[in-house]
Structure 1
């Protein structure tokens, strides 16, 4: 049997599909139809499932590759960042803008930390932890729920908080707390290198 190409293997194809789904997600989210919210949420949820699936298949089929190792986290951060930008624009409230800012800032900081540690040959110290995986699941669930229903507004322009929104915001704040906790864990792991004297 011919060996699968390290580029055109199934895990990498799934990751590329996740990246290509981003403009589709944006388009669907802004369509003026009642079903667009649920469709956007379904697309985002499918992206989250493929995030787990491509990693599982890469390990199961022994099809890991440098392209996959690079593209997989990039795809995750792109789709989460784009979804949060859309949600901040629709909700237009500090209650959503602040956790979105924390989540995006954390992703940038941790990515930079991992790149720097990799240059030192210490990438393993800041590898994805179990806590990071729990954070990702909570974050994906919160964003999916927020995408599934655009908020309503009262006569004063304030968001009407329904039980659905309370649950969505609650999960987003839990994801934000886990985001900060996991970032703290990575910083502690990298502290010996970060605090070395420059002499």
Structure 2
């Protein structure tokens, strides 16, 4: 199988996860800064792989499958680390992870039924708040001593609310196909 640039960018996010996890456990503020930087780089590669794939007609089955998997693996790793370091509440982590698994399963099911589950504006806002919240929670006060931990937690709470809201819409749209 030939991997094109968007697929390499997707694969790079998966490869980056152990380095991201290791970085957060470096001593001092450096660990936070390196982990947040790797998380930001991963976010840029997520945007870039989709943009390049669509712009250059390089959309592939590999990318369609592994792009969301890479995103979920990175986000779950970040949330588990933040939970371990008591930077985020268990309820928020559970809501976000359960929603990701539910929506990913629904999308896969709907694709198998020959219909898609389009991304909603609520889902896009959920992702933006989640990524911003994770980034700020990773930094804590390591970035020029700015107190980013609490605003990061607030963003993650907003993301959790938007997660439930968007999951409701996904379920509503798929209900006719999945109900018993």
Q: After TM superposition, where is structure 1 displaced by more than 6 Å over at least 4 residues in a row?
A: none
| Residue matched to 2:38 | 43
| 1:117 pairs with one of 95, 106, 110 | 110
Q: Distance in 2 between matches of 1:100 and 1:25?
A: 18
Shift of 1:73: 0.2
| Residue matched to 1:130 | 121
Q: How does 1:30-179 map to 2 (within 5 A)?
A: 30-91=25-86, 96-122=89-115, 124=116, 126-149=117-140, 163-179=147-163
Structure (1/2) with the larger helix percentage: 2
Q: Distance in 2 between matches of 1:182 and 1:22?
A: 26
Match of 1:91, SS state, is coil
Shift of 1:8: 1.8
CA contact (8 A) 1:90 1:150 kept: no
Aligned length: 177
CA contact (8 A) 1:9 1:63 kept: yes
CA contact (8 A) 1:7 1:65 kept: no
Q: Distance in 2 between matches of 1:15 and 1:185?
A: 27
What is the Cα-based RMSD across aligned positions, in Å? 1.8
Shift of 1:115: 1.7
Match of 2:29, SS state, is coil
Q: Distance in 2 between matches of 1:174 and 1:7?
A: 40
**For structure 2, which runs of at least 5 residues remain unmatched after alignment?**
none
CA contact (8 A) 2:139 2:149 kept: no
**For structure 1, which runs of at least 5 residues remain unmatched after alignment?**
1-5, 152-161
Q: Distance in 2 between matches of 1:164 and 1:188?
A: 36
Q: How does 1:21-32 map to 2 (within 5 A)?
A: 21-32=16-27
- TM-score of the pair, normalised by structure 2: 0.91
CA contact (8 A) 1:38 1:149 kept: no
Q: Distance in 2 between matches of 1:116 and 1:28?
A: 36
Quick check: which has more Rg, 1 or 2? 1
